[in-house]
């Protein structure tokens, strides 16, 4: 750990959003008819993001994840990912994507050294998938297969739990993940956007999802951690696979091991997804890059990282998740 990193928790993981835009419109993410995208000049250039990443490395950050919006809708995303991987001191780089545009560049990303890709997949039924995302399941399937064929070492699936929408997909998703040899995680809905789906009535607790899974197949607590996140894992011996549950709302210990902060596409450090505080890096990036000031702002954001999220306290999101970064 870097002694200048002022937290007792080791914060060494930076999630970088490279765009707030997306080619899908998931029910829990994008408000209907949303078009309030950031202007191009508000979005950090790749050069500016790499300067921020370099500062992070100097403060002991070793793990990075590229997110959006949908990161692969930004031009040259694969070159940016390769440049980030090549930065001295960067040890692990992952990508979070809806995978609709992954297939054509999966090999390039694998060759650049991409360590992991997290793919959003909330349903296996094409009609339900379309209803949730507005997108085409077949593109995602092509993306998953391409990631596996390219040999990206860790490929994970993320499914957001929605009552009345995809609880009947829990078991098919588990079978599919097992067939493909993938780790699957189920995620509780979090109030990080302003859509109708985020109503209490659609909330499906992780505990209930576990019961649904347990009604299909035996589950055994699995102490292994398959990533940097706060998921709880279970072995499914009959399927010879593991599934995780990310209970941001119902797991009261959720934040204890949080090791990450976020950088938004428009250059704000966000120490916690579920707290409003943000630290603007732009004064340290424009009109020119100022490494000393970058470092100062990063340190301030680490000092102010709150102990836990405010999702259980009538949290009202100030910006939607595409604008924060998943």
Q: How far is the CB of 96 from ligand 5AD (least distance, A)?
A: 5
Comparing CB distances to ligand 5AD, the nearer of 96 and 264 is: 96
Q: Confirm or reject binding of residue 265 to ligand SF4 (CB under 6 A).
A: no
Q: Confirm or reject binding of residue 69 to ligand SF4 (CB under 6 A).
A: yes
Q: How many CB atoms lie within 10 A of CB 85?
A: 18
Q: Confirm or reject binding of residue 158 to ligand 5AD (CB under 6 A).
A: yes
Return contacts of 39-44, CB within 8 angstroms, 24+ apart: 42/266, 42/267, 43/19, 43/265, 43/266, 44/18, 44/265, 44/266, 44/267, 44/281, 44/285
E strand or H helix at 93, and its extent? Answer: strand 92-97
Cα gap 318→264, rounded to integer Å: 13
Comparing CB distances to ligand SF4, the nearer of 174 and 320 is: 320
Q: What is the DSSP letter of 283?
A: G
Count of all residues that appear for the chain in the document: 326
Tell me which of ligand 5AD, ligand SF4, none is bound by residue 322, counting a contact when its beta carbon lies within the kind-specific cut-off of 5 to 8 angstroms.
ligand SF4
Comparing CB distances to ligand 5AD, the nearer of 195 and 301 is: 195
Q: How far is the CB of 109 from ligand SF4 (least distance, A)?
A: 18
Binding mask 49-88 for ligand 5AD (x = CB under 6 A): ----------------------------------------
Cα gap 104→145, rounded to integer Å: 11
Comparing CB distances to ligand SF4, the nearer of 59 and 198 is: 198
CA 207, 212, 213, 216 dihedral sign is positive
Tell me which of ligand 5AD, ligand SF4, none is bound by residue 133, counting a contact when its beta carbon lies within the kind-specific cut-off of 5 to 8 angstroms.
ligand SF4
Q: Confirm or reject binding of residue 95 to ligand SF4 (CB under 6 A).
A: no
Q: Confirm or reject binding of residue 120 to ligand 5AD (CB under 6 A).
A: yes
- What residues have CB less than 8 Å from 69, skipping those under 6 apart? 17, 18, 19, 20, 21, 22, 265, 322, 323, 325
Q: How far is the CB of 280 from ligand SF4 (least distance, A)?
A: 22
Cα gap 193→100, rounded to integer Å: 22
Site residues for ligand SF4, window 109-128 (CB under 6 A)? Answer: 120
Question: Which of 180, 178, 183, 102 is closest to 139 using CA atoms?
Answer: 102
Residue 95 φ then ψ, to 5°: -135, 135
With CB under 6 A as the rule, give the number of residues binding ligand SF4.
14
Site for ligand SF4 (CB under 6 A): which residue of 24, 54, 188, 278? 24
Site for ligand 5AD (CB under 6 A): which residue of 5, 55, 92, 96? 96
Q: How far is the CB of 321 from ligand 5AD (least distance, A)?
A: 4
Is the Cβ–Cβ distance between 20 and 132 less than 8 Å? no
Site for ligand SF4 (CB under 6 A): which residue of 14, 18, 22, 161? 22
Peptide bond into 314 cis (omega under 30): no
Is the Cβ–Cβ distance between 292 and 59 less than 8 Å? no
Instruction: Output the CA angle 184-212-224, nearest 5 degrees.
Output: 40
Site for ligand 5AD (CB under 6 A): which residue of 193, 228, 241, 242? 193
Stretch that binds ligand SF4, among 3-11, 62-70, 210-218, 249-257 (CB under 6 A): 62-70
Interface positions with ligand 5AD (CB under 6 A): 28-29, 96, 120, 158, 160, 187, 189-190, 192-193, 321, 326
């Amino acid at each position: 750990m870097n002694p200048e990193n002022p937290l007792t928790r080791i914060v060494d993981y930076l999630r970088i959003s490279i765009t707030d835009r997306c080619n899908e419109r998931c029910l829990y993410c994008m408000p209907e008819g949303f078009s309030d995208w950031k202007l191009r000049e508000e979005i950090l250039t790749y050069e500016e993001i790499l300067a921020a990443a370099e500062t992070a490395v100097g403060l002991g950050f070793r793990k990075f994840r590229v997110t959006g919006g949908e990161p692969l809708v930004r031009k040259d995303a694969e070159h940016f990912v390769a440049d980030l991987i090549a930065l001295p001191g960067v040890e692990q780089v992952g990508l979070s994507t809806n995978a609709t545009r992954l297939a054509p560049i999966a090999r390039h990303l694998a060759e650049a050294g991409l360590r992991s890709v997290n793919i959003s997949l909330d349903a296996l039924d094409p009609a339900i998938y379309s209803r949730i995302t507005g997108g085409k399941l077949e593109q995602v399937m092509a993306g998953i297969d391409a990631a596996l064929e390219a040999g990206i070492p860790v490929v994970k699936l993320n499914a957001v739990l929605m009552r009345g929408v995809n609880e009947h997909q829990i078991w098919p998703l588990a079978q599919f993940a097992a067939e493909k040899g993938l780790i699957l995680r189920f995620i509780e809905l979090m109030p990080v956007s302003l859509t109708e789906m985020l109503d209490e009535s659609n909330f499906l607790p992780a505990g209930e999802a576990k019961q649904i899974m347990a009604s299909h197949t035996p589950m055994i607590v699995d102490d292994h951690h398959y990533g940097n996140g706060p998921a709880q894992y279970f072995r499914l011996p009959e399927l010879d696979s593991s599934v995780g549950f990310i209970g941001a709302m119902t797991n009261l210990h959720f934040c204890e091991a949080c090791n990450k902060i976020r950088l938004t596409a428009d250059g704000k450090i966000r120490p916690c997804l579920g707290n409003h505080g943000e630290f603007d890096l732009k004064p340290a990036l424009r009109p020119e890059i100022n490494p000393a000031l970058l470092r100062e702002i990063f340190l301030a954001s680490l000092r102010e990282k709150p102990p836990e999220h405010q999702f259980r306290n009538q949290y009202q999101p100030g910006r939607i998740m595409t604008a924060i970064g998943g």
